[in-house]
Amino acid sequence: MRRADLPFLGELAVWLTLVNLTFFYAIALTNVALALMLEYTAPMLIVAAGLLLGTHRMNRAVALILAGNAAGCFLLVGAYDPALWSGNALGAAVGMLCAVSFAAYNVRCAHGHRRGLDSWSMTFWPFFLSALFWLLATPAIDYAAVEVTWETVGFVLFIGVFGTVAPYWLYLEGLKTIEPFPATVIGMLDPVFAGVTAFLLLGETFELPQLAGMVVVCAVIVFLKRNESAVQAIPRPAVEPS
**Share above pLDDT 70 across residues of the chain, in percent, rounded to a whole number:** 91
- pTM reported for the whole predicted model: 0.79
**Distance between CA atoms of 219 and 134, rounded to whole angstroms?**
40
Which residues, at least 6 apart from 49, have a Cβ–Cβ distance to it below 8 Å? 55, 103, 107
pLDDT in tens, 56-80: 677 788 888 888 888 888 888 777 7
Domain parsing of the chain, residue ranges:
3-229
pLDDT at 157: 92
pLDDT at 112: 92
pLDDT at 147: 79
- In the predicted structure, residue 143 carries a pLDDT above the cut 80: no
As a whole number, mean pLDDT of residues 122-132 equals 93
The confidence band for 166, taking pLDDT boundaries of 50, 70 and 90, is very high
Find the range with the poorest average confidence among 15-29, 30-44, 116-130: 30-44
Give whole-number Cα distances, 105 to 63, 130, 171, 178, 202, in Å: 23, 14, 11, 15, 32
The confidence band for 239, taking pLDDT boundaries of 50, 70 and 90, is low
**Distance between CA atoms of 199 and 193, rounded to whole angstroms?**
10
59: left (phi over 0), alpha (psi -120 to 50) or beta: beta
The confidence band for 33, taking pLDDT boundaries of 50, 70 and 90, is confident
pLDDT at 236: 58
